[in-house]
Amino acid sequence: MPSSPTVVRRIDRPDPELVKAASQYGVATLHEAARRRGLMVDIHPVVAGTRVCGPAVTSLNHAGDNLMLHAAVEVCEPGDVLVVATLSPSTHGMFGELLATQCRAQEIAGVVLDAGVRDRRELQDMSFPVWSRAISAAGTVKATPGWVNVPVTCGSALVNPGDLVVADDDGVTVIPAAEVAAVVEAARLREEREAANRARFQAGELSLDVSNLRPLLERLGVTYS
C-alpha cells in the first residue's frame, strides 16, 4: 500500500463473462465452492432481497471520516461493488441516501461497508443494494485523507481491488480475482450434485442415507435407544 494517501484509478477486473457466470450462484454456494474461504463476518444486508456480483473497488478511510468513500465513487465503473473499510473499528453512518443516489447514477452495483449506514428506510425504498456492520445515525466528517484501490480488510476478509464480491441475503463473500474461474466451475459441479440430491429428498429419501451418514454416526459411537 502506498505510504501516502493515494487514489489508484486503474485496476484489473475479472473477465465480464466470468462475473456473469458467478452471478448465477448464491453466496453460500460460492463460499463452499471456494473451500469456505472469503466470507465476511458480521456484515449484513441493509436492504433484503437484493444481490450483487461484481469487481471490488476499495476505499480505506479513517474512522468517522468518509472522505475517501466519496473519492472512490469517481473511479468506479458500471457493475463494480464499492467495498468500504476503516483503519480502526467504526460504526459511524458513513453511507446514506444521497451517496446511494450518486452510486445508482454511476451504475455502481452495490456497496459493502465495515462500518455503519444511515437512511435505512430511504435505501429500502430505493432498493439500493447495501451491506454493513451497523445501522447508525452518527454522522461523519470529511477531513482526513486515505486510500482508494488498495488491499483492505472488510468483515475480517481480505479484499484486493478487482477481487470478485458477491452479496445476497446470506451475507458477503469475496473471491480472489485469480481464482474466479476455478470457483465458478466448483460451484457448477456443486449445484449439479445438489440438484441430484434434491430429487432424492423429494422422493422421500433421507439425508442420512443420501449422504451415507449412518456409518459416521456408528464410528462416532452414536447409539439408538
Q: Please, where in the chain does CATH 3.50.30.40 lie?
A: 6-178
Residue-wise pLDDT tens digits, 6-21: 999 999 999 999 999 9
Average pLDDT over residues 38-46: 98
> pLDDT grade, residue 212 (50/70/90)?
very high
CB 96 within 8 A of CB 122: yes
Q: What is the 3-state secondary structure (H, E, C) of 91-124?
A: CCEEECHHHHHHHHHCCCCEEEEEEEECCHHHHH
**Of 62, 84, 67, the residue nearest 131 (C-alpha):** 84
Residue-wise pLDDT tens digits, 121-157: 999 999 999 999 999 999 999 999 999 999 999 999 9
> pLDDT grade, residue 99 (50/70/90)?
very high
Would you state the CATH architecture of domain 6-178? 3-Layer(bba) Sandwich (3.50)
pTM (2 decimals)? 0.95
Average pLDDT over residues 171-193: 98
